[in-house]
Structure 1
């Protein structure tokens, strides 16, 4: 079975951090540059992962401020 694409691996890592409570609603995610350094990936990989997480409703971008974990309905 082929390895998951890097963007999918990064999205899964962030998804797990949200599910575990390590990243709580309202928390700011690390910057694109920080995620690139931490995971050894390009900005395009980070952007693709963010698009997927935004589509799933897990995070939202605030222009000029960053990307934040969304409030999850109970």
Structure 2
């Protein structure tokens, strides 16, 4: 089985941090630069992971401000 893409690994990591409560609804995610350093990945990898999490409803971006953990909806969130 091939290794999981780096963006998918990063998305999983952020999703786990949200599920565990380490990142709560309304919390701001670390910046792209911080995530790059923390995980040893490129900005493209960070952007792809965030985009997937946005599409799944886990986070929401505010242009020029940052990316925040989304309020939890009533139903289950999408999983990969």
TM-score normalised per structure 1: 0.97
Question: 1:65 Cα deviation (Å)?
Answer: 0.7
CA distance in 1, matches of 2:73, 2:48: 25
Runs of 4+ in 1 over 4 A off after TM superposition: none
| Unaligned ranges ≥5, structure 1 | none
Higher relative contact order (CA 8 A, sep 6+): 1
Match of 1:46 in 2: 46
Aligned pairs, number: 74
| Unaligned ranges ≥5, structure 2 | 75-80
Q: Cα RMSD over matched residues?
A: 0.6
Is residue 46 of structure 2 the alignment partner of residue 37 of structure 1? no
TM-score normalised per structure 2: 0.90
